[in-house]
Amino acid sequence: MSGVDYDLVITGGRVIDPALGFGREADVYIKAGKIDEITTDVDKSARAVAKLPGDKIIDASGSLVVPGLIDMHVHLREPGREDKETIVSGCRAAAAGGFTSVCCMPNTDPVIDNQETVKFVLSRAEEADANVYVIGAITKMSKGRELAEIGDLVKAGAVAISDDGGFVQNPEIMRRALEYARMFDIPVISHAEDRFLSAGAVMNESFQSSRLGMKGSPAVAEVIAVLRDIKLAEFVGGRVHIAHVSTAGAVGAVRAAKAEGVYATAEACPHHFTLTDEEIGKEFSTSLRVNPPLRTQKDVEAVIEGLVDGTIDCIASDHAPHAEEEKDVEFDQAPPGMIGLETTLGLVKTRLIDRGYLNWADAIRKMTYNPARILKLPGGTLEIGSAADITVIDPEYRWTVSEKKFRSKSKNSPFVGWKLKGKVEYTILGGRVVFQNK
Q: Say whether residue 320 binds ligand DOR (CB under 6 A).
A: yes
Q: How far apart are CA 243 and CA 316, in angstroms?
A: 9
| Residue 4, number of CB atoms within 10 A of its CB | 10
Q: How far apart are CA 135 and CA 127, in angstroms?
A: 19
Residues of span 95-124 touching ligand DOR by CB under 6 A? 107
First vs last C-alpha separation in the chain: 33
Q: Which is nearer to ligand DOR, 7 or 318 (CB)?
A: 318
Q: Say whether residue 164 binds ligand DOR (CB under 6 A).
A: yes
Query: CB of residue 244 vs ligand DOR: minimum separation in angstroms?
Result: 7
Question: According to CB under 6 A, which one of 67, 249, 270, 336 is a site residue for ligand DOR?
Answer: 336
Q: Which is nearer to ligand DOR, 144 or 430 (CB)?
A: 144
Q: Say whether residue 191 binds ligand DOR (CB under 6 A).
A: yes
Spatial contact of 147 and 137, defined as CB atoms under 8 Å apart: no
Please tell me the number of Cα atoms within 13 Å of 242 on its side-chain side.
38
In 3D space, the residue among 426, 375, 400 whose CA is nearest the CA of residue 158 turns out to be 375
Task: Give me the residue whose beta carbon is nearest to ligand DOR.
Answer: 337
- Catalytic residue (one of 163, 318, 389, 394): 318
Spatial contact of 400 and 426, defined as CB atoms under 8 Å apart: no
Q: Say whether residue 291 binds ligand DOR (CB under 6 A).
A: yes
By three-state DSSP, how is residue 276 classified?
coil
Q: How far apart are CA 171 and CA 364, in angstroms?
A: 35
Q: Which is nearer to ligand DOR, 290 or 352 (CB)?
A: 290
Query: CB of residue 431 vs ligand DOR: minimum separation in angstroms?
Result: 33
Q: Tell me whether residue 55 is one of the annotated catalytic residues.
A: no
In 3D space, the residue among 125, 184, 194 whose CA is nearest the CA of residue 160 turns out to be 184
DSSP H or E segment with residue 433? strand 432-436
Q: Say whether residue 286 binds ligand DOR (CB under 6 A).
A: no
Q: Which is nearer to ligand DOR, 18 or 292 (CB)?
A: 292
Residues of span 47-106 touching ligand DOR by CB under 6 A? 75
Query: CB of residue 75 vs ligand DOR: minimum separation in angstroms?
Result: 4
Binding residues for ligand DOR (CB under 6 A): 75, 107, 164-165, 191, 290-291, 320, 336-337
The set of catalytic residues is 318
